[in-house]
Structure 1
Amino acid sequence: MTETIATPETDDLARHASKMAKKKAARDKIMAGKEGEKGMIIVHTGAGKGKSSSGFGMILRCVAHGMPCAVVQFIKGAWDTGERRLLTTHFSDLCQFHAMGEGFTWETQDKARDIAAAKAGWEKAKELIRDPAIRMVLLDEINIALRYDYLDLSEVLAFLAEEKPPLTHVVLTGRNAAEGLIEAADLVTEMTLIKHPFRSGIKAQVGVEF
C-alpha cells in the first residue's frame, strides 16, 4: 500500500474539503426546512442601473421555462428597446407586452396625460395579474408613477394583497420605491449607483441601456 505523505498542499486540500462538507451540511439543513411554492412580490429600486434589466432577465427565465408572463411598461412606452423587440418578435406566444407609457414626465409636459397613461397601465396590469395562467407580471417603472402620485399606493397594495393569485410573481421596478411597497414585498433589491457614464458625457448606448 502506498502511504500518503502529508504536505502543506494536501493539508490545505483536506481543510478545504472539511470546510465545504460542513458548509454543505448546514445548507442542507436550512433547505430541509423550505417547502412549497409562493408567488412573490419583487421590488427592484435604487439609483443604480439595472432595475429594469434584472426584471427582464426574470421574464426571459420564465420564457425559457415555458411559463406565460407579461410586461406592462409605465414610462418607457415610446422607446424602441431590445427587450421589446425580442419579446414581441420571438416570444409573443408566451409573453404579452404592453407599452402604456408615453415617455418621462419632462418629455410629455402634461400631467393629466401622464396620469391617464399610468391609470390605463394599472388597469391592464390588474387584468394580467388576475389571470392565474400568467405566472409573472413585470410592472416596469411603476415606482415612478407611484412616486408622482399618478397611482394610489394604497390601492396597489390592497390589490396585490387581496387579488394576486397565490403562485403569480409580480415584479415592480423604478427608483424611490415607497416604504409601504418595500414592507409588503417578499424580495427587495436596491441598485447602488457607484459610477455612470452619463455623468461623463456619454449618452445611452444600444445594448447597454436599451
Structure 2
Amino acid sequence: MMQMFAENGDMVPVTMLEIGPCTVLQVKTVERDGYAAWKVGFGETRKKPTKAMAGVFAKAGGAAARIVGEVPPIEGTEVKAGDRLTVAVFEGVALVNVAGTTKGHGFSGTIRRHNFNSGPRAHGAKNVREIGSAGSAFAARVLPGKPMPGQWGNCKATVQNLDVVKIDPARNLLVVRGAVPGPMGGYVVVQQSTYKR
C-alpha cells in the first residue's frame, strides 16, 4: 500500500494493481453455456498444458497462460477470443471487487486467531493462553463452528466496493482506495462491482 493526495487535498491509502495484459481465451454466453463470463489467461508458463487446455490456448492464438480463470463480463465491453484486455476496460468504472488469497499465518491459537482474552497470569495459573471452557451444560459437547485453534489465513477473501482512484494506461496500473487480500506481488482477480451508489 501507499498514499496519494486526492483532488480535494485529502491523503488517501491506495493499492496499485498491475492489470494484465490478459488474453481472452473464451467468451461464454447465456445461450450456449447457461451463463455469461470471460475465460481469461494471465502470464506465461513453461509447464506443458494438458491437451484440453492446449486446444483452448490454440483457439485463442496465444501461449500457455500461467493463471486461467473466469470473470463476469464488464458492461458495455465487447470482446472475442484472442483479444488482449488491459486496464482500459475499467475506464468509467467507479467501484471494483478484488478477490485473492489472504496471507497465511500457519497454525495459530485462539488469542491470536480470534482475539480471545488470555487467562490470569498470576497465582499459579496454568491456562494463560488456553481457550478456557468451550462446551455448555445443555449440549454437553462442542457445537460445530466454535472458534478454535487452527490454520489462520491462506484462504480466499474478497474486498468489495473499492473506489477506483486512478487509471494509468501507460503502465497498465489500476489504483484503488484501501487494501486488497494477499501479499505484495500476489495474484488477485479484479471485477466490476454491481453495487450502485
| TM-score of the aligned structures, taking structure 1 as reference length | 0.19
Higher RCO (CA-CA < 8 Å; seq separation 6+): 1
Q: Which has the higher strand share?
A: 2
